[in-house]
Each structure stands twice: as C-alpha cells, then as structure tokens.
Chain A
C-alpha cells in the first residue's frame, strides 16, 4: 500500500483513457440491457402480473409530446423560414431562386425537422427524465420500488421510452408541416409564388421515402433520448449537485448522440 511509486504522466493519461473507455462501454451495455429489459416487461408484464400501466404511458406522452408542441412548432417554423432565406440567397447566385422549393422540402423533411425536434425533446424531456430518476434514486424512491416488489424499469422506464418513441415521430411530422408552411409563407412573400403553387411543388417533390427517412430517424432519436436520460439518471452520485451533473450530462450526450446518429443514418440510407 504505502510507498507506491507515482505513475508517470503518460501512464496516468493512458490509464485515464482506459478507465473512461471501459466506463463508456459499460454505460452502453447498461443502455442495451435497459432496452432489452423494457421490451421484456412490455411483452411479459401482463403474464407476470406486473403490467406496464397505460395511464403512466399517456402521462409521459402528454409531458413529452403534447406540452412540447408550442416550442417545437415555433422552432420548426423558424427553421423553415431560415431555410427559405438561405436557399433563396444561395440560388440567387445562379439566378435560380424559383427552384428553392426542392431544397426546402427535402432538407426540412429529411434533416431539419427530425433534428430540431430531437434536440428540443432531448433538452426538455431527456434532461427531465435524468433529473427525475436521479432525484428518485437519491431519495431512495428507487429502493422503495424494489422493496415493494415493483420493478423500476417497468414502472418508470417503459412508460418514458414508449412515450418518447410515439411522440417524437409525431412531433417530427408536425415539424415537417409547420416548417414547410412557414417556409412557404416566406417564399410566397419573397418570390411571389402562390402558396397553392408552392405546396403543389412540395407534394410533387416529396414521396413517402423522404418522409419516412426523417420519421424513422426520429424514432431512433427517441430511443437515444430516453435511454441516455435513464442511464445518466441511474448513475447519479452525491446529492442535489449530482442530479444537476447527470442532467447536464444527459442533455449533452443525447444531443451529441442524435447528431452523430443522424450523420450515420444519412450515410447508410443514402448509399
């Protein structure tokens, strides 16, 4: 014990990298296990007389989805207008402003709607989930669930996971519509293309594939948000300060995960 030599900075750095890597892999394992366990309870819960409760799923859907409608709509609209402005500005170089619709329609449905929705839900609900689970853990409420014979995954995680998985694609679809509409308003004002003509063009450009590209991506984001929120919340250490730390961590991690997944998804699907 005593007299252990001080490791050199290089060794210490390598050791730190190693430890962090192991911790990260461990967390991914926890996340995988969590998804597996959630599916298990969803399927087997009723048979084990521990069903996942519908009211708690609806409650989560309200909190994650319905209550996020105003902010998501506002942001989607803003992004739509931003896309229109930038698109017209760029295309003006070639004198091709009137072709702006194709850029708006594709980038809104394939990229911006799922991305902005995912980021907003991560900030609103992923953090809330981490904070809730973290606080519950510190207050021994998770222990209380265990000793009452109530599985915390079934009771807390499954409703949140299902809630996000249903609501994030719904919100994304709403973002599609709001974003395209807001962009249309700008295009209408700037280029004097009528809304009817604009939406005709949008309808011609968009097909199910484009929409599904964005929506299925958003479902993956939903899983990431919920699982990262739960894993961080469950890893809480210390008191209130610890809850703050895991909450921040959950938001940063889920937004990073969303952006990276977005890129990988786009790469894999468009090839």
Chain B
C-alpha cells in the first residue's frame, strides 16, 4: 500500500495530501493522498463515480478543494495568484477526453494557440514548432484541416500535440483511449510512452482501460468511492489480495452492499422525495 516509503528517490512533481472535495453538498473525494514522481506514468483508475475525473480536475486546478493540499511542481496551487497560476500552467499540458480542439480554428492554429498567447515568437517559428509537434503525433500535413474533418483518433492525437507544444513537465491525459478502436488506442498508448521517453515528462493518465494501464503505467492509483484503494506498481496491483481490486482486474461486478435499511428506503422511495427537491 505505502509505496512512498519504499522508493523515496525521484523528485515529486505532484503531491496531494488529504484532499477533500464537494460537489454541492455531496462529498466526492474523501481524503485522497497520492504523489506523482518525475518521469513516471501514473494511471488513475476506478469505476464511474469513483472520483477519478474529479481528482484530475483538481490536479489541473480547475476546481477549488474543500480542504487538503495540492502541490504541482512544488507550488501549492490554492495559494497561487492568478498570474503565478498562468506561469504554472505553461509547464503543464492537458489532452482532454474529447480533444477540446477549438472548432473555429484549424488544427495548426489550435496547436499554435498556446505559443501565440504566451510567447513572442514570430508566426513562422510558431508554424514550424506546431509542425514539429504534429510530426511527433504522426499528423504531419494535417495542420490546415478543421477539427471537424478529423477522425476520433486524429483529434486525440492533435489534442496531444497541443498539450505538448509548450514542452510541459507534466502531461495530463483524460481517457485517452475512450471511444477508439483497439488498434488506434494502442497507437495512442505507444505515443504516450514515446513522449515520456523523448521529452522526459511525467504523465498522469485517467483511464479505465486495463489493457492500456498494463502497457504504459509505471504506477497505478485506484480510487473507489472517493477514497484511495490502492497505490503501487502494476506487479503490486496484480498481486493485490484486495477483493475489490481483483474484481476490477477481472471485470467482475461489485457485490452490492447488503444494507437492508438502505434497500428498504430505496424501495419505499422515502428518501427520494427528499432528494428530488434538490
């Protein structure tokens, strides 16, 4: 369970301590602590509703936590000014699930946007840099197409190119293989590995694709109902005695909790009227 003590060596690029978050009155993350080391690929997995997407949004500083500390590249994000946060964000890249490319701009303009906004480079240089990144993700020659003209896999690769255009230290990938056929998603996994090896960045991947996790992840964080269920290497994950983890790995459905009271309340619908008002 506690891999932190075992391998203290590498520097930590992300540290999360006792993170508690709420969505409205509902508690989503219930005291999550984890860390990501320099140059590693950390996979965050868990079923739907486990809080993995919420954790990612917090790591990207898109939400405010209720309590707990998040440090990215040594800086505590809750205490940063807007300007410092922008500086920090230049050192991180995000590839969103649906790509989140701007539909009114060409692929090339999408990739150049961070350069255009944050650097003083002339347009020609920016175009060359964008083409270089497109080359890295095997999309050379597509810079003048609109995002709507690309296939799902190409959009994800273009989003990856935009995420790495500022040469970030940390790359966040949200469900990189969701909605793609196996061959394309495997190619994306290779791409993530190549990027890490070539640019030495740390990668945080949120996914529920086990195959992809086994292929690329150095370590895995398993979330379950807003709590950390497991942190460790792939080998440790496979050897874990926890029944829940074995269920996840073998794709067995979770046993329903046998709380008779809760079951009766659900049936009679008494709590439902209370919830419906919300």
| Of B90, B100, B102, most A-chain CB atoms within 10 Å | B100
Q: Which of A2, A48, A141, A143 contacts B265 (CB 8 A)?
A: A2
Q: From residue 225 to 278 of chain B, which have CB atoms closer than 8 A to chain A?
A: 265, 270-271, 273-274
> Within the assembled complex, what's the spacing in Å between the Cα atoms of A158 and B83?
19
Chain B residues with CB under 8 Å of A144's CB are: 94, 96, 100, 102
> Within the assembled complex, what's the spacing in Å between the Cα atoms of A1 and B262?
11
Chain A residues with CB under 8 Å of B90's CB are: 149
Q: Which of B62, B87, B113, B274 contacts A2 (CB 8 A)?
A: B274
For B89, the closest partner residue in chain A by CB is A149
Q: Which of B114, B172, B270, B273 contacts A148 (CB 8 A)?
A: B114
Q: Tell me the minimal C-beta distance from B28 to chain A in angstroms.
A: 17
For A138, the closest partner residue in chain B by CB is B98
Contact of B85 with A by CB under 8 A: yes
Q: Tell me the minimal C-beta distance from B83 to chain A in angstroms.
A: 7
Q: From residue 72 to 123 of chain B, which have CB atoms closer than 8 A to chain A?
A: 83, 85-87, 89-90, 92, 94, 96-98, 100-103, 113-114, 117-118
Q: Are B118 and A149 in contact (CB under 8 A)?
A: yes
| Of A3, A144, A146, most B-chain CB atoms within 10 Å | A144
Contact of A139 with B by CB under 8 A: yes
Q: Tell me the minimal C-beta distance from B79 to chain A in angstroms.
A: 17
Q: Tell me the minimal C-beta distance from A60 to chain B in angstroms.
A: 11
Chain A, residues 1-15, CB within 8 Å of chain B (1/0): the string is 111101000000000
Contact of B60 with A by CB under 8 A: yes
Chain A residues with CB under 8 Å of B102's CB are: 136, 141, 144
Contact of A50 with B by CB under 8 A: yes
Chain B residues with CB under 8 Å of A1's CB are: 265, 271, 274
For A142, the closest partner residue in chain B by CB is B100
Q: Are A147 and B92 in contact (CB under 8 A)?
A: yes
Q: How many residues of A sit at the interface, in one of the four size bands?
A: 20 to 34
For A150, the closest partner residue in chain B by CB is B117
Q: From residue 1 to 42 of chain A, which have CB atoms closer than 8 A to chain B?
A: 1-4, 6
Contact of A90 with B by CB under 8 A: no
> Within the assembled complex, what's the spacing in Å between the Cα atoms of A139 and B155?
13
Q: From residue 121 to 142 of chain A, which have CB atoms closer than 8 A to chain B?
A: 135-136, 139-141
> Within the assembled complex, what's the spacing in Å between the Cα atoms of A262 and B270?
50
Known: A6-B273, A149-B90. A140 touches B96 (CB 8 A): yes
Q: Are B113 and A148 in contact (CB under 8 A)?
A: yes
Chain A residues with CB under 8 Å of B87's CB are: 149
| Of B61, B83, B117, most A-chain CB atoms within 10 Å | B117
Chain B residues with CB under 8 Å of A135's CB are: 103
Q: Tell me the minimal C-beta distance from B273 to chain A in angstroms.
A: 6
> Within the assembled complex, what's the spacing in Å between the Cα atoms of A164 and B92?
35
Q: Tell me the minimal C-beta distance from B123 to chain A in angstroms.
A: 12
> Within the assembled complex, what's the spacing in Å between the Cα atoms of A6 and B272?
11
Q: Tell me the minimal C-beta distance from A234 to chain B in angstroms.
A: 14
Q: Are B113 and A150 in contact (CB under 8 A)?
A: yes
> Within the assembled complex, what's the spacing in Å between the Cα atoms of A143 and B53?
13
For A19, the closest partner residue in chain B by CB is B277
Known: A4-B274, A50-B117, A149-B90. A143 touches B85 (CB 8 A): no
Q: Are B117 and A48 in contact (CB under 8 A)?
A: no
For B95, the closest partner residue in chain A by CB is A144
Q: Tell me the minimal C-beta distance from B274 to chain A in angstroms.
A: 5
Q: Are B118 and A146 in contact (CB under 8 A)?
A: no
Chain B residues with CB under 8 Å of A49's CB are: 118
Chain B residues with CB under 8 Å of A148's CB are: 89, 94, 113-114, 117
Q: Which of A2, A140, A149 contacts B100 (CB 8 A)?
A: A140
**14 A-B pairs, CB-CB below 8 angstroms?**
A1-B265, A3-B270, A136-B102, A139-B103, A140-B96, A141-B103, A143-B60, A143-B96, A143-B100, A144-B96, A147-B89, A147-B92, A149-B86, A149-B118
A binding-site residues for B, Cβ under 8 Å: 1-4, 6, 48-50, 135-136, 139-141, 143-144, 146-150
Q: A2-B274, A50-B86, A141-B102 are in contact. List 9 more A-B contacts (CB 8 A).
A: A2-B270, A4-B274, A48-B83, A135-B103, A136-B102, A147-B60, A147-B89, A149-B114, A149-B118
